[in-house]
Amino acid sequence: MFIKNLIIMEKNLTPEESLQIIQKSIFHSRKNLREGSFYYLLWGWALMLAGLANYFLISHYIRLEHYDSIMPMSLLAWGVFVVAAMIIQFAVIARSSKGERVITHLDRYIKIIWIAAGLLMALMAFLSLRVDSYPTPFILGVTAMATAVSGLMIRFRPLVAGSAIFLIAAVVAIYLKGTDQLLVFSGAMILGYLVPGYILRYSKNGDHV
Amino acid sequence: MYKDLDPILHSQLRLAVISILVTVEKADFAYLKNETGATSGNLSVQITKLKETGYIEVNKKFKGNYPQTTCRITELGRQRFVEYVKAISGYLKPG
């Protein structure tokens, strides 16, 4: 089998056959973009629940007038959901890399954008707390940018629409008080991440590029 | 016949491997095997040949208990692929 294959490989190809091989290979190696829905669903759920948990937690401590507990409990609530999502993400990536693996140019660009967005979100959180403001609108603004770029790169309109939701949510949130901003944040996660994420996952044809 | 075509690329499986790698950042052995439908032995021989000529880079490492061979096209490989496509389109033009 091995030698037979080698002989076949060495036969003279015609230019038409060469072109067929190139076309077949290029079209075949397009990755199914549906796989990307995992990240939007994971982070959509994690951040939506984190926003709601914070809303109830902060409202609860305000009722009790335990103002000193708000900041540490809020940070803890965010931390629990973000760390849980990160652990799930790493576990899923580690498991998938045991099978066949391909990294497209798009995968790399999208990864770079989200790493940059993540760093920018951390910076926004720090800067806003320094000026005694809630970080929610600023984080929503950064999310809008990264979601828009990702959606445009994979040419998936629902995600681009999701980025517009984040942009609107950022503007709305700045006019609301802190706890209500969290409800806007969770709502934006549902419309901006979860809805496009489920559309992507269940779309008949996942390869939009 | 077709003497000006790069003999490294003018081979069914090597051309398929380069065509896949030109479109992606990197791909592992299992992916290339599945996409090309080649046998492991044959694919391994052709990947070694592409590596020896400097058309691709091969990175071998262990991920847990699984050996993982990752391939990536080099600038030279990309350049030769473009030249090869130009050369065959010369043959495909009428007249």
- Tally Cβ neighbours within 10 Å of residue A87: 10
Of A19, A94, A6, A57, give the one whose Cα is nearest residue A178: A57
Contact assessment for residue A185 and residue A173, using Cβ atoms and an 8 Å cutoff:
yes
Q: Is the Cβ pair A100, B34 closer than 8 Å?
A: yes
- B7 contact residues in A (CB cutoff 8 A): none
- B13 contact residues in A (CB cutoff 8 A): 9
Q: How far apart are CA B93 and CA B73, in angstroms?
A: 28
- Tally Cβ neighbours within 10 Å of residue A140: 27
Residue to substitute from A35, A96, A100, interface B, most B β-carbons within 10 A: A100
The count of residues in chain A is 209
Count how many Cα atoms sit within 13 Å of the Cα of residue A62 in the half-sphere of its side chain.
10
Q: Is the Cβ pair A6, B45 closer than 8 Å?
A: yes
pLDDT in tens, B30-78: 889 988 889 999 999 999 999 999 999 999 887 777 778 999 999 999 9
Secondary structure (3-state) at A35:
helix
The pTM assigned to this predicted structure is: 0.78
Spell out the per-residue pLDDT of chain A, length 209, in tens.
344 444 444 556 888 888 888 888 777 655 666 677 899 999 999 999 999 999 999 999 888 888 888 888 888 999 999 999 999 999 988 777 666 688 888 888 989 999 999 999 999 999 998 998 889 999 999 999 999 999 999 889 999 999 999 999 999 999 998 899 999 999 999 999 999 999 998 886 554 44
How far is the alpha carbon of B53 from chain A, nearest alpha carbon, in Å? 17
Q: How far apart are CA A202 and CA B76, in angstroms?
A: 40
pLDDT given at position A32: 63
The residue to which tokens 């603004």 are assigned:
A141
Contact assessment for residue A197 and residue A37, using Cβ atoms and an 8 Å cutoff:
yes
Residue to substitute from B2, B8, B19, interface A, most A β-carbons within 10 A: B19
Which phi-psi region, left, alpha or beta, contains residue B58 (left: φ > 0; alpha: ψ -120 to 50)? Answer: beta
- Tally Cβ neighbours within 10 Å of residue A167: 19
Q: How far apart are CA A80 and CA B24, in angstroms?
A: 36
Q: What is the ipTM of this complex?
A: 0.81
- A6 contact residues in B (CB cutoff 8 A): 42, 45
| Residue B17: exposure state from Cβ atoms within 10 A (0-12, 13-18, ≥19) | buried
**Token duo for residue A58:** 């902060």
How far is the alpha carbon of A114 from chain B, nearest alpha carbon, in Å? 18
The residue to which tokens 């335990």 are assigned:
A66
Q: How far apart are CA B60 and CA B28, in angstroms?
A: 10
How far is the alpha carbon of B94 from chain A, nearest alpha carbon, in Å? 13
Q: Is the Cβ pair B19, A103 closer than 8 Å?
A: no
Q: Is the pLDDT of residue B19 over 80?
A: yes
